[in-house]
Amino acid sequence: MKKIALLAAASAFALALAACGDSGDASEDAMADNVELPADEAMADAPMPTADSTEAAEDATEDAAAVQATAEEAADAAEAAAADAAAAAEAATAAADE
């Protein structure tokens, strides 16, 4: 009985695989007519840069430079504070040892 069930299942699987297959050549469907566009056509919808965008870029560059300077000043102040804290810790340790 198990052999008949196994044979029936195997034949059902074989028929299911055969039914899902396609005898057509899929490579013709996958070929695109025109894959590449000329640069002029590809950029036709892109906005042209204006004076406003150039000014905005310059302002952003200036803002970034100001932020960089502020960050460097903050780093220097933090380094000085850490050095002061280390010196105070050494002084407290020396005072506790006496």
- The letter for the amino acid at 24 is G
pLDDT digits (tens, 9 = 90+) for 20-60: 766 665 555 555 555 566 777 777 787 776 667 778 888 88
pLDDT digits (tens, 9 = 90+) for 1-10: 888 888 898 8
Report CA torsion sign: 89, 91, 93, 96.
negative
- The whole-number pLDDT of residue 54 equals 76
